[in-house]
Amino acid sequence: MSNGVKKIGVLTSGGDSPGMNAAIRAVVRTAISYDMEVVGIKRGYAGLLNNEMEVMHSISVSDIIHLGGTILYTARCPEFKEPEVHKRAAQILKDNGIDGLVVIGGDGSFQGASRLAENGINTVGIPGTIDLDISCTEYTIGFDTAVNTAMEAIDKLRDTSESHERCSIVEVMGRTAGHIALWTGIASGAEYILTKEVFKGDFDSVVAKVLQRRALGKKNHIIVNAEGIGRSDEMAKYIQEKTGIETRATVLGHIQRGGNPTCKDRVFASAMGAKAVELLNEGMSNRVVAYKDGEFISYDIAEALAMQKGLDEYLEHITHRLTSASAMKHEK
């Protein structure tokens, strides 16, 4: 029996990520186990303002745990930043008898959840983004699938790069954070990993490294570039001009956001979805679910949004060791 809210809404907001469906499933099924009613709100905050709602039952979330994307659709809703709109949205929820809301998305979506909490709706956020750029949590739903997708794509690129003895610049997603670049770069054995956090625009150091590695006998070169730096075509032209090695740029783009979620994403999404509803059942509000030191916990949204997270320092550190020309120094 629920001690907190009686009827909850669930929505997905911002960029989609693989595992969002598994999270929706966990929210719906956990809520039902507490005798709460559940309503799926379509198209994020935009759909909320349009009253796009549908009652969800256990069967509504059957056969979705393995699907990428989000069955509730997602959208961006710029007008949700306006205070007047928060009051209207909270009233729409109240008119539908909804007193709790689970928001699956990123930092922007949590801001919206916080504004609704100020207007009397119990809200809990679940971190869903491929970018891993939510500071309060060590894991965000979709990251594992995205890095595996990018890694597999780079493995394929390496084949053709090797056949043509080329240099390949691969641009991966992450507009504000380089986690995807760092992980896929390490997993793909990239020679250079360019992230906004670390790379200061010294393209000549990239050129020098490619030339060193070519002199040591390498026949292909993989450079992973984070979207936050961008300019991959321009970089390819520069490297080709300076090294004489044919260089191509490939932007992986939205394929990184699609596909069946990995086991890790499904399990984390299931745990985070369940945790969100447990919090609402305990009468908590304005919280965001997080994974920290092996536990599923929660933070106040304002506290969570004030946190800062950089790239993993040790991973960043080993990158240089694993790819430096000095690591091959005894081979010539």
Which of the residues are catalytic?
131
CB under 6 A: which stretch of 56-64, 172-180, 242-250, 275-283 binds ligand F6P? 172-180
Please give the helix or strand (H or E) that residue 272 lies within, else none.
Answer: helix 263-281
- What residues contact residue 163 under an 8 Å CB cut-off, 6+ apart? none
Residue 107 C-beta: closest distance to ligand ADP, Å: 5
Binding flag, residue 261, ligand F6P (CB under 6 A): no
Considering only 173, 181, 276, 279, the residue that binds ligand F6P (CB under 6 A) is 173
* Cβ-based nearer residue to ligand F6P, 67 or 92: 67
The option from ligand F6P, ligand ADP, none interacting with 11 (CB < 5 to 8 A, set by class) reads none
Question: Smallest distance from the beta carbon of 130 to ligand F6P, in angstroms?
Answer: 5
Cβ-contact 232, 171 below 8 angstroms:
yes
Give the residue with the Cβ less far from ligand F6P, 99 or 131: 131
Reported as half-sphere exposure (CB side, CA atoms, 13 A), residue 47 has a value of: 20
- When asked if residue 15 is in the footprint of ligand F6P (CB under 6 A), the reply is yes
127 binds ligand F6P (CB under 6 A): no
Q: Residue 307 corresponds to which tokens in the numbers above?
A: 């946190």
Using CB under 6 A as the binding rule, the residues of this chain from 210 to 239 that contact ligand F6P are 227
Tokens 């770069």 belong to residue:
185
Which residues here bind ligand ADP, judged by CB under 6 A?
13-15, 45, 76-78, 80-81, 105-109, 111-112, 115, 129
**Contact in structure between 91 and 29 (CB atoms under 8 Å):** no
Eight-state DSSP code of residue 141: B
CA 209, 214, 220: angle at the middle one, nearest 5? 95
Please tell me the distance from the alpha carbon of residue 79 to that of residue 235, in angstroms, as a whole number: 37
69 makes contact, choosing from ligand ADP, ligand F6P, none, with CB < 5 to 8 Å by partner type, with: none
Q: How far is the CB of 149 from ligand F6P (least distance, A)?
A: 12
* 21-to-28, 99, 108 alpha-carbon distances in Å: 11, 22, 20
Least Å from the CB of residue 109 to ligand ADP:
3
The correct pick among 129, 247, 270, 285 for binding ligand F6P (CB under 6 A) is 129
Q: Residue 292: which H helix or E strand, with range? A: strand 287-292
- Burial of 67 by CB count in 10 Å (0-12 exposed, 13-18 middle, 19+ buried)? middle
Contact 114, 301 (CB under 8 A): yes
Stretch of 56-64, 129-137, 216-224, 304-312 contacting ligand F6P, by CB under 6 A: 129-137
Which residue is nearest to ligand F6P, using beta carbons? 15
Binding site for ligand F6P (CB under 6 A): 15, 129-131, 173-175, 227, 257
